[in-house]
Amino acid sequence: MTPREKFIQALRREPIEGHVPHFELVMFLTMEAIGRIHPCHRNYEQWYQMSAAERRLHLVDMAKAYIEIAEKYDHSAIFVHPNPGPIGEMPDDIESTRAILETIRELSGDKYFLMIHGDPTYPIPTGDTMMEFSTMMYEEPEKIHQGTQERVAFAKKLCDEMAKHPGLLDGWCLCSDYCFNVNPFYSRDMFAEFVQPYLKEILDYYRAAGYYSIKHTDGNVMPILDMIVDAGPDAVHSLDPQGGVSLTKAKELYGDRVCLIGNVNCGLMQTGTEEQLVEDVRRSLREGMPGYGYIFSTSNCAFTGLALSRYELMHKVWKEEGYYGGPLCK
């Protein structure tokens, strides 16, 4: 069974043998880990001034960065950040997006589950726009609806373009963050008005096109997790313990409806002792694996500035103990 096939089994909450699938939303530490610059850290302002041969060399190098990280850390899936393109947003350069996906497939075949960003819903606004956005929800809600409808239309167009190339893409990761560590940015009423209908609309569209979907948000998602699950993603990421999210509770409430991904405490990875990190990794595996429908991951990503040794310690514990029938899931 390939890593991709095992990842899909987990998304479907089906029984799995061997290791629980491992995945990282972003692994920024590529230079230290494999000697390659992460695609998000590259600047391609002159991309279209390059010859086709030069662009090809860059595409291969970016593809190898993704593949070599997946191979080294036993990831079952790769979240591709097309570059050139806006970092952290839906890809707006469809040709370049297709090119990097084709290159990864060319070099790795169907070994890995491939996904890209595809979230048209509005995330928490930045500090520069928070007051304006918050006021608009009360005074000009039609503008937010109009903006979201336009973003949904673009996401559908992107989906249609990807669907013209069967086997290229497996799914979508919807990465708009909705929550602070204390509580969601949106109240339940606001989430029901401004987010959930559009989230459900695009998730239904992706599913009808034959794709899987993963909904990501950091922070304390528990007050709106039921509404996210009702929208219909195949999985929810990142189940952030720094936001007070209990994997045990999330699994108890929604584990029969959605795959759960993440929950290893990124705060402990950065500032905890090695003993605290090891125990937290074991806790996540112990709470997530029973009953299947779990994918092992940090509660955010392997972020820039994180000590690589900490990530490798997490991976070591997963490799030695994170398997069905083992000491953490008998």
- DSSP annotation string for 135-152: HHHHH-HHHHHHHHHHHH
User: What does DSSP assign to residue 96?
Assistant: H
CATH class of 3-321: alpha beta
| pLDDT tens digits along 120-164 | 999 999 888 999 999 999 999 999 999 999 999 999 999 999 999
Predicted TM-score (pTM) of the model is: 0.97
Strands laid side by side in the 171-174 sheet: 77-79, 113-117, 171-174, 212-216, 235-238, 259-262, 294-295
Name the residue type at position 93.
D
State the Rg of the chain over Cα. Answer: 19
Q: What residue spans define the domains of the chain?
A: 3-321
Per-residue pLDDT of 293-324, as tens digits, reads 999 999 999 999 999 999 999 999 999 999 99
pLDDT in tens, 262-285: 999 999 999 999 999 999 999 999
pLDDT at residue 127, as a whole number: 85
3-state secondary structure (DSSP) of residue 136: helix
**What is the rounded distance in angstroms from the CA atom of residue 250 to the CA atom of residue 6?**
22
Quick check: 330 pLDDT over 80?
no
Question: How far is the C-alpha of 259 from the C-alpha of 225, rounded, in Å?
Answer: 13
Look up residue 204 and give its two tokens. Answer: 């239904």
